[in-house]
Amino acid sequence: MSKVQVDTIVDKDDISAPSLTKGAIVTGVCTATSFDGAISEWVLGANGSSDYTFTGSGLTGAENDPTLYLKRGQKYRFKNSSGGHPFRIQSTANGSTGTAYNDGVTNNDAGNGTTLEWDVQFDAPSVLYYQCTSHGSMGGKIYIGNSGNSATLVDLNVSGVTTTGIATVTTSVVVGTGVTINNTGIDVGNAGIVTAGTVAAPDAMALKTSGSERLHITSGGLVRIGASTDEDVHTGEGADLQVVSTDGGGLTLARDDSTVSNGANLGVIRAYGNDADGTYQEVAKIEFQADLNHGTGDKPGRLVFSTTPDGNTAPAEAFRVNSDQKLLVAHTSSHADMYGKIQVASDTSQGIDVARYTANAHPPYIRLYKSRNGTTGGNTIVQDGDTVGYIDGSGNDGSGFHSCAAVAFQVDGTPGDDDMPGRIVFETVSDGGITITERLRIGSAGQLGIAGANYGTSGQVLTSQGASAAPSWADAGGGGGLTEIDAWCLSSAWPTPSSGSTWSNVRLGNASNTAGTGTFTRNTEHNMPIGTGVVNTNGLFTFPSTGTYEVTCQLHVERYYSTPHCTLDVVLSATNAAGSGITLAAQSASVSSDCEANPITMSGIFKVTNTGTQNVWVKMTVDNYIYIIATSKQNMIFKKLT
**Could you tell me which residue, 599 or 638, shows the higher pLDDT?**
638
Q: Is beta strand 168-175 parallel, antiparallel or unpaired with respect to 152-158?
A: parallel
Q: Sketch out the chain's domains with CATH numbers.
A: 40-190 (2.60.40.420), 265-344 (no CATH), 387-474 (no CATH), 482-641 (2.60.120.40)
CA-to-CA distance for 559 and 624, rounded, in angstroms?
9
CA contacts within 13 A on the Cβ side of 131: 20
Residue 424 buriedness (CB in 10 A; 0-12 / 13-18 / 19+): middle
Residue 149: which of 260, 222, 257, 71 has the closest Cα?
71
Residue 587: which of 605, 574, 599, 575 has the closest Cα?
599
CA-based angle 462:465:471, to the nearest 5?
35
pLDDT for 78: 97
Q: What is the DSSP letter of 640?
A: E
Region label for 92, one of left (φ > 0), alpha (ψ between -120 and 50) or beta (otherwise): beta
How many percent of the chain have pLDDT more than 90? 37
CA-to-CA distance for 161 and 241, rounded, in angstroms?
37
Number of helices (H), then strands (E), in the chain? 0, 43
Q: Which region among 170-174, 412-416, 421-425, 502-506 has the lowest average model confidence (pLDDT)?
A: 170-174
Q: How many C-beta neighbours within 10 Å does residue 537 have?
A: 11
pLDDT band, residue 200 (cuts 50/70/90) = low
> For residue 205, which phi and psi values (nearest 5 degrees)?
-135, 140
CA-to-CA distance for 445 and 455, rounded, in angstroms?
11
Taking 80 as the threshold, does the pLDDT of residue 172 lie above it?
A: no
CA-based angle 256:262:263, to the nearest 5?
80
pLDDT for 597: 56
CA-based angle 622:614:535, to the nearest 5?
80
Looking at the DSSP bridge assignments, the partners of residue 604 are 551
> For residue range 609-641, what is the model confidence (pLDDT) as tens digits?
888 778 888 888 877 767 777 666 678 888 887
Mean pLDDT of 180-204: 57
What is the rounded radius of gyration, in angstroms, for the C-alpha atoms of the chain? 56
Looking at the DSSP bridge assignments, the partners of residue 288 are 267, 303
pLDDT for 402: 93
Q: Three-state SS string across 390-426, please?
A: EEEEEEECCCCEEEEEEEEEEECCCCECCECCEEEEE
CA-to-CA distance for 464 and 24, rounded, in angstroms?
141
pLDDT band, residue 535 (cuts 50/70/90) = confident
CA-to-CA distance for 97 and 469, rounded, in angstroms?
96
CA-to-CA distance for 441 and 409, rounded, in angstroms?
10
> For residue range 210-256, what is the model confidence (pLDDT) as tens digits?
778 888 888 777 888 886 655 666 667 767 888 888 787 888 888 98
- Coil, strand or helix at 512: helix
Q: Please state the pTM of the whole predicted model.
A: 0.46
CA-to-CA distance for 12 and 30, rounded, in angstroms?
7
Q: Which region among 121-135, 345-359, 561-575 has the lowest average model confidence (pLDDT)?
A: 561-575
CA-to-CA distance for 525 and 298, rounded, in angstroms?
90
CA contacts within 13 A on the Cβ side of 294: 18
- One-letter amino acid at 34 equals S
> For residue range 128-167, what is the model confidence (pLDDT) as tens digits?
999 999 999 999 999 998 765 443 444 455 554 545 444 5
